[in-house]
Chains A and B, each alone.
Chain A
Amino acid sequence: MENFTPYSAIAGGLLIGLSAAVLWVANGRIAGISGIVGGLMSGAGGERLWRLAFLAGLLVAPVVYMVIEGEPSVTSNAGTATLILAGLLVGFGTRLGGGCTSGHGVCGIARLSPRSITATILFMAAAAVTVFVTRHVVGG
């Protein structure tokens, strides 16, 4: 528990919630990252510009943070094969399942969608089981 950081987690969560609220109230769009990216691939023309603008903000924000606060801690020990497998599963799974941590986990639960509540329980459980297996069963 030495890495416990509740206050920065709450501050970040408030910003994410605010982002989701702004995007819904002003634009009527769900702040679901996999949906925003996946929608770019399906080529709905009029929906393209706001998606690109959102993603531009998403990508630039950590750089802005880095300039002001210094480099954020980003540590990954995953090997290339793991990263490729994980990426394929995340990309395919989020499109099949219609959302990810943001679309189901934040927006969907905030909307009290039974689909999203079920989805969030399932992906949390699947992720926790995966970490348990890789860290304590196989990697032990």
Chain B
Amino acid sequence: MSSFVALIAGLLFGLGLTVSGMINPAKVLGFLDVAGDWDPSLAFVMAAAIPVAAVGFAIARRHSAPLCAQAFSSPTATHVDWRLAVGVVLFGVGWGLAGYCPGPALASLFLGNPRVMVFVAAMLAGMAAFRFLAPRLFSASRDEKTTSTLSR
């Protein structure tokens, strides 16, 4: 059941990326080009998505567990540290270079554009490189900081 829900959520997400224009690197770069012929459209994507997601999080707060799973899997890290700062700046530079962030790049894979396949292959290599380097860069295996049961 939870996998069926995830499939539906993935479909909604992919449709959202496509309908909004997020899937188009030229449009993304036009949004990021504040000093040029700025296209602010994509600000409306976040402006619309955040309140809807916030309603979901608010509804969930009234429940002790998700509808189709055992527990909420909430990010455990709470403070801003250098890993976060360095990581998201590297991500931002990469996003600005090609106009692809992970969601739109993956969503474009079946549209038959060879450029996006090169990007996704490099992105997966970058993720694998992190997976390989993380235990060497950080003493304990802290690279999996994503999930643990949330006590709210």
> Chain A: residues with CB nearer than 8 A to chain B?
1, 3-6, 8-31, 33-35, 37-39, 41-42, 47, 49-66, 71-78, 80, 82-102, 104-111, 113-115, 118-120, 122-132, 134-136
> Chain B: residues with CB nearer than 8 A to chain A?
2-27, 29-30, 32-57, 59-60, 63, 65-75, 77-80, 83-103, 105-111, 113, 115-116, 118-131, 134, 143-147, 150
Question: Do A87 and B120 touch (CB < 8 A)?
Answer: yes
Smallest beta-carbon distance B96→chain A, Å: 3
With CB as the reference atom, state the residue of chain B lying closest to A20.
B53
Question: Do A59 and B91 touch (CB < 8 A)?
Answer: no
Contact residue among A10, A15, A78, A102 (Cβ-Cβ distance under 8 Å from B115): A78
A13 to B49, CA, bound (A): 4
Question: Do B5 and A28 touch (CB < 8 A)?
Answer: no
Question: Do A39 and B146 touch (CB < 8 A)?
Answer: yes
With A89-B97, A115-B84, A127-B96 known as contacts, the answer to whether A132 contacts B55 (CB < 8 A) is no
Question: With a CB–CB cut-off of 8 A, which chain B residues contact A54?
Answer: 6-7, 9-10, 13
Question: Do B48 and A1 touch (CB < 8 A)?
Answer: no
Contact residue among A12, A63, A86, A129 (Cβ-Cβ distance under 8 Å from B119): A86
Q: Other than the known A16-B53, A76-B113, A126-B96, what 6 A-B pairs have Cβ atoms closer than 8 Å?
A: A14-B16, A26-B66, A28-B66, A53-B4, A131-B29, A136-B35
With CB as the reference atom, state the residue of chain B lying closest to A48.
B3
With A17-B50, A76-B115, A132-B33 known as contacts, the answer to whether A33 contacts B106 (CB < 8 A) is yes
Question: Do A59 and B107 touch (CB < 8 A)?
Answer: yes
With A12-B16, A41-B128 known as contacts, the answer to whether A87 contacts B123 (CB < 8 A) is yes
Question: With a CB–CB cut-off of 8 A, which chain B residues contact A24?
Answer: 53, 56-57, 60, 66, 72
